[in-house]
Structure 1
């Protein structure tokens, strides 16, 4: 519910108000010193003209106007449009000819947007306005104060009030559904075939609790669960049957030609994350920047708030080169890890690092963020990656992502 903030007569209307008082005083003195029907009628008319703006300010109900904002739809992605509807209710009985409304919308990396609309109150002194905000950008939008104003029938005076409220609008990256990723699903199938081995290495993540089996280590016993049930319970740890996926996002401004290219890279990450979640695989995201440098999601996690915040707030503000991040100490690089590198860079150092990852028995791949004019250059780069048995994908627009990931790159396994 929006609450009203009162505002008295603005400074630019005070001269007009004083002028009316002056004419009323003159008509009053004319009646007192002259008398007669003419002076009485003149005083009556001038009194009405003078009292009307004052009564309008007090009794029009504009000072106590209230409103409710409705935002549709609930989940927003970049590029979407949103329809905003505000329902108003004006208390009082004094007739009002119109209500003029101004709305301010602020964005962290965009200009302030101003939306203006008006409505005529109905018999129940209610009304509504509706407007559309087109092509939203990724990030958080904040609504400023809503200005409501009305005027007299002569449009000489304007009375305003402000609606104070706290409301935000979250716009997430645009995503496309990914049904197949041949490279990752092939690695997943290989891990399933090798998962029958009883000597699989266990991770440090607890997958659940089971009954104690003779031969279990004492360090694996879950003492709290054992005390509650009265039966020995052992911790069940995740096994290294599923390959872990590490996404390296380049956030260095020198790597991109503009904001749109970086937004495409963020959209690619946002589209890959749900696919990895559906495959019940562990996920890590590493990028250069002060905020969210490294994020990790355990196997099978359905909802990770900090990853959503990362996709909402991440900006092109990194200072480190991507080549320096590949062998960062924060990365839990182990044999069998899938390393997804997202960057427009196509350098010799990157090619050398991809080769080193391959020699360490990992599975790197490169998602090349390109413009439509760079397809020929990107094709040459993909062939160079093929000589090192590293799969590469050229992403010109987000709709190309599902098509590229369905490509046959079995030679990269």
Structure 2
């Protein structure tokens, strides 16, 4: 969450910056809660001061051997009121916490202002889209002859799932292995294996709860209605990786912390009905190699540029045309202060589509998680967290199928993947 002191000091400026994100800050609601909090705290301080004064008075009376019953009764009454105020203050602070949890991150000054994806700015374009001398087919038509089976997936589960067999399953695995090997061997990330189920605290820490609960899949331990703890299937391993530093104070010498993981991701896609229903572009279950860095606040924007380069390296290695987009204020995610999207060329759609999103969250997640480090003066300070896809494996498979398709229905295997494919250079039906 953002620093509440920003609202206390300059709420109008905060409201104006959030408005560029299409978020209407309830200034009146926050002001009313703050006024209530201040009134309770002021009254509490007055009562504490008076109680301290009465305590001294009781001591003086006792020293003189005089009756203290009246003063002690008055002090007892103050104690009751102080306890009542403590309860009221807790209730107001809980309301403030709920209020703050719903407020998105502030956009960085360098983020372009815009309403939606039309306001995103192209930073660079890399590679040339291939030219075909035959009618281009989409990844579903290409993949179905190579082992992509969406019909069986519907039978097993429902729409927006997939079954892969044979060569295409191996190609999918090869992509994930290539990504992991590149990020660990060349970019300095530590490979991690994390749970696919997380608790609510983890999702609050990275900002998915409470705002995006409708997009999550949840399960109850034990399975009985109303019984047991609720767990959530991860929407991305950003959640599990980033939360490894929740409630921790790490040493400055351990920074940066660079983590990567290959996991399935589970999303209900509640707000995307009717979009990309064909094939593997938007599914309820998909694989992703995630990149997470936990860093010193002074370095986070340099690190963001580095992480974009790390994700780009995968696309360059695969020889896939792509472009880098700087997202505008109206198209950024809830916890991000600045985001770059990588969009890969899909010949069948004749356009670029998102394959990675990389964001600096500054201290937004760290404040929710209470993730800190000890600075040079030994004082605890909030960390900065960054995350991004390096890459979405399914969408990368889609891009390989479409960009490397051949007239006879086969698919050329990108050279960097051939060691993971037993030297196979072509996937045939």
Report the structure number with the largest CA radius of gyration.
1
Same fold (TM over 0.5): no
TM-score (norm 1): 0.26
Higher relative CO (CA 8 A, sep ≥ 6), structure 1 or 2? Answer: 2
TM-score (norm 2): 0.25
Structure number having the greater strand percentage: 1
